[in-house]
Amino acid sequence: MAPTDGAASNTARPLVGRPFTWLLFALLVLIIPVVGAIWRADMAWLEVHPALNAMLNGSCAFFLLAGYVAIHRGDRELHRRCMLAAVTTSGLFLTSYLIRFATSGAHRYAGDGWDKTLYLVILFSHMVLAVAVVPLVVRALWLAIRGRFDAHRRVVRWLWPMWAYVSVTGVVVYFMLYHA
């Protein structure tokens, strides 16, 4: 029996379209130097944890962009996988962030002047949109699972730019807070 078009495209490009495989590969490639650097620097977990959260935010942004490109190319299966990877990395981030916040509390920005104002504007917009994104993600997933793609598209027209902004500004906030 001849494979369908979807099956043929999946066998022709085994790793393309498997975002979880790419994420796992990237994490494995990164874990060795990160663990080595932590060991040599004698860093505490509370110093490493925010960087892990930034990596999760960056991964989510990557999957959102890949999913966006996939759906605009008509590759629904790759889009579905990328969006599930984005939801997974966002869920891992949220869990990790809540653990970090519970163990070490809020962190204050060390700068002052225009850079602190910029930081607070980015942080405030990030936080407000992050709260708004959660129910929209749940709604978009529910609509997609139910096959209600017209309603799904109406939600994600607003959701995608908000979610991408939250993911990217999460990384920006990390760099401003810990490396500026």
Mean pLDDT of 52-64: 91
> What confidence score (pLDDT) does residue 28 get?
66
Three-state DSSP string of 105-125: CCCCCCCCCHHHHHHHHHHHH
Homologous superfamily of the 17-179 domain (CATH)? Cytochrome c oxidase, subunit III, four-helix bundle (1.20.120.80)
* Band of pLDDT at residue 51, cut at 50, 70 and 90: confident
Question: pLDDT tens for residues 94-118?
Answer: 999 999 899 888 888 988 899 999 9
Write the pLDDT tens digit of every residue in 132-176.
999 999 999 999 999 999 999 999 999 999 999 999 999 999 999
CA angle 91-97-99, nearest 5°?
A: 105
0.75 surpassed by pTM: yes
Count CB neighbours of 53 within 10 A: 21
pLDDT of residue 8: 44
